[in-house]
Homo-oligomer: A and B are copies of this chain.
């Protein structure tokens, strides 16, 4: 069996103290160049690897960032994680990643695990039904930074990173109206979550500005799955008169809906102009290609990780950066384009 080499073994071999080895390994300024070189060489030869537990225990910090997301297998979240990993990795931070599977209970137990594992900071996008902050209180009490992204939770000590869902939803609805839609259905998500609530508000605001009446019968709240989209399609088909516009709070659901509408002989965009949200890869595959809001997950991940690491390293205060709003953009495609005038 392989015997693990410690700094004491290196020290013994070189007839110096473990303290010096430790310093040399960390490139401490007050160690001679010669010693450093020698230590580096010897530790290589002996197959030394540092023990992060001992070091973390001693230093009382872990260089681990915890990440809790609703689900790992969503296109958007995968992008976010890729962005986070990129930044964390290049700053020598490790990532603990777990998923809440949209359950507050699991979110809480994951948070507890992160706490026990002494993460230096926590990045969270909250579950569908999370309505209280209890499971994060213990982080705040210990001054462990918690940053929310995308699906955020309002708390004075926690910065938030998101896009302007209100404005994006407003703009996309406005676009549908400019294309001649007057009765626009909105398929939205759980109104507890900022992202979905704001999309509904943006939709309302656009109607208002264009002197269209808000009709709550035109709003369908769902879990925004593809299945929810096809279910919604059947509801829409029964509406009379038939709506002439559709704004769905995510692309997956929009596409599920479009597939049924198409099958039932509805022409998109001439009968119903459709818009989604997220710019999912499928949005360019469906025919007609789906108008949507481009939502940069990768960038959001990078920004979240950078903000966290800056805070961890500089201990600069969060006060100044309470909210970080990322740019999003309207991408107009055939599913909503009724004429060339507005292009």
Contacts and interface: CB of A to CB of B under 8 A. Distances in A.
A143 B89 CA distance: 25
Q: Which of A62, A98, A117 has the most chain B CB atoms inside 10 A of its CB?
A: A117
A141 to B, nearest CB: 6
What class of interface size applies to chain A in its complex with B?
A: 35 or more
B98 A96 contact: no
Identical chains bound together, number? 2
Contact of A117 (B1, B52, B255): B52
Contacts of A298: 73
B138 A255 contact: no
A332 interface: no
A53 B96 contact: no
A221 interface: no
Contact of A82 (B71, B116, B117): B71
A113 B50 CA distance: 10
Contacts of A287: 287
26 contacts: A2-B142, A49-B115, A50-B116, A51-B57, A51-B118, A52-B117, A53-B53, A53-B54, A53-B57, A57-B57, A71-B82, A72-B85, A73-B78, A73-B79, A73-B82, A73-B298, A81-B97, A82-B99, A85-B97, A92-B113, A94-B113, A94-B117, A96-B96, A97-B97, A259-B285, A281-B282
